Amino acid sequence: MAHRLVILASGSGTLAQAIFDSQADLDIEIAAVISDNDAAPVLVKAQAMGIAIDVIAVGASRQDWNLQITERVAVYEPDLVVSAGFMRILPPDFVHRFPTINIHPALLPNFPGAHAVRDALAAGVAVTGTTVHWVDDGVDTGPIITQMEVPILPGDDEATLHERIKKVERGLIVATIALILPTLERHV
């Protein structure tokens, strides 16, 4: 029986597409793609693959959103939640209930937060990269699962460096899911 995944995504869906394309190899069922952005291209990609989609926009109350995302994900009974370019901090109740991984465009613990690529360039480091980690109550503070280095090249700007990191991330997220699936309990 395949493991059930829910993917959280806010944008173009390149990471989600890498997971979609690896479903058979990973022996997973993607139960749903959930976004906080109703215009996210990832939703169109998921629909084209026959995957259920859901949108939970952040409204006036963050507390209501926290409750909604937890309740909606619970409906899908995931064995694993994958945050793939999801630009929201998940509530503590959520990450305590669902095993959740995130991919971050830096070698954590260096450069946490929303501007990791810009921060790495500003710091003048020669190497940055990407990290897949368990999501906890903090911002990019959960235990590291896998990392891969990406060198910063002369002439790199935020866009070119981020694009090279994204290419590495697509392979790393799939490899990391394959690595951790045997450790997860399945919902039956």
Mean pLDDT to the nearest integer, 65-94: 95
For 168-178, what is each residue's pLDDT tens digit?
999 999 999 99
Mean pLDDT to the nearest integer, 149-159: 97
Specify if 188 maps to a domain.
no
Specify if 60 maps to a domain.
yes
Calculate what percentage of the chain has a pLDDT beyond 70.
99
| Domains in the chain, number | 1
Are 79 and 3 a contacting pair, CB within 8 Å?
Answer: yes
Specify if 80 maps to a domain.
yes
Active site residues: 104
Tell me the residue range of the domain where 74 lies: 3-183
Gap between the Cα atoms of 105 and 111, Å rounded = 9
Amino acid residing at 59? G
Burial of 149 from C-beta contacts in 10 A (0-12 / 13-18 / 19+): exposed
Are 102 and 124 a contacting pair, CB within 8 Å?
Answer: no
Specify if 117 maps to a domain.
yes
pLDDT at 155 exceeding the cut of 90: yes
For 84-142, what is each residue's pLDDT tens digit?
999 899 999 999 999 999 999 999 999 999 999 999 999 999 999 999 999 999 999 99
Specify if 108 maps to a domain.
yes
Specify if 121 maps to a domain.
yes
Q: What's the pLDDT score for residue 185?
A: 80
CATH at residue 114 = 3.40.50.170
